């Protein structure tokens, strides 16, 4: 079954806030790329453009943003959707100092660190806390702890599998 990624990339949100002094302001320029991860003849992973995808294909989404403004950008938040028809692959989100991923299971309304938990009411009418499975993840978010200086770039990525 072929799938187009055009619709899958529609929901990328980037927010940046900064105080401007003397007319200076940050300005972010960004892209989100989707690549299919395949194995080459030496059994090494390589990324190729994800023009057509099929069930069980692994896709890697890369978000890359640069501050092209005239002042540092603080409060930069990067959000990547897990497109319908795909499942987040556990532990594939960029996790480095200053860029720790958090996850949503409710369409991006709330985020938690992994493991993500949710509450259900069991058959006794009591609240029961359960751990979310990777197929429940709808968004991945990173909030930069430091400012993004003028001319600097931030890159994060995560992987999904096509259902």
Does residue 146 belong to any structural domain of this protein?
yes
Structurally, the chain folds into a number of domains equal to: 1
CATH number of the domain residue 36 falls in: 2.60.40
Tokens of 1: 């079954």
* Residue 1 belongs to a domain: no
Query: Is residue 90 assigned to a domain?
Result: yes
Let me know if residue 2 belongs to a domain. no
Residue 70 domain-assigned (yes or no): yes
Residue 11: pLDDT above 80? no
Q: What is the pLDDT of residues 33-91, one digit of tens each?
A: 999 999 999 999 999 999 999 999 999 999 999 999 999 999 999 999 999 999 999 99
pLDDT number for residue 1: 40
Residue 22 is part of which domain span? 7-162
What's the whole-number mean pLDDT along residues 12-27? 52
CA atoms within 13 A on the CB side of 38: 12
Q: Could you tell me if residue 88 is inside a domain?
A: yes
Q: Tell if the pTM clears 0.85, that is, is over it.
A: no
Please state, rounded to an integer, the average pLDDT across all residues of the chain. 88
The better pLDDT of the pair 23, 111 is held by: 111
CA distances to 40, 153, 160, 161, 162 from 56, in Å: 17, 32, 9, 6, 5
Asked whether residue 78 is assigned to any structural domain, the reply reads yes
Residue 104 lies in a domain: yes
The pLDDT of residue 5 is 38
């Amino acid at each position: 079954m072929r799938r187009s990624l055009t619709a899958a990339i529609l929901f990328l949100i980037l927010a940046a806030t900064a105080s401007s002094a003397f007319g200076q302001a940050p300005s972010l320029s960004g892209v989100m790329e989707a690549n299919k991860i395949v194995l080459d003849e030496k059994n090494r992973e390589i990324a190729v453009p994800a023009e057509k995808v099929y069930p069980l294909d692994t896709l890697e989404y890369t978000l890359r943003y640069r501050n092209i403004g005239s002042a540092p950008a603080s409060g930069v938040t990067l959000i990547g959707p897990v497109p319908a028809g795909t499942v987040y692959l556990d532990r594939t989100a960029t996790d480095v100092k200053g860029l720790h991923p958090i996850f949503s299971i409710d369409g991006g309304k709330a985020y938690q660190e992994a493991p993500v938990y949710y509450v259900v009411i069991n058959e006794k009418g009591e609240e029961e806390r359960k751990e979310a499975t990777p197929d429940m993840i709808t968004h991945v978010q990173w909030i930069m702890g430091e400012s993004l200086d003028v001319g600097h770039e931030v890159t994060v990525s995560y992987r999904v599998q096509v259902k």
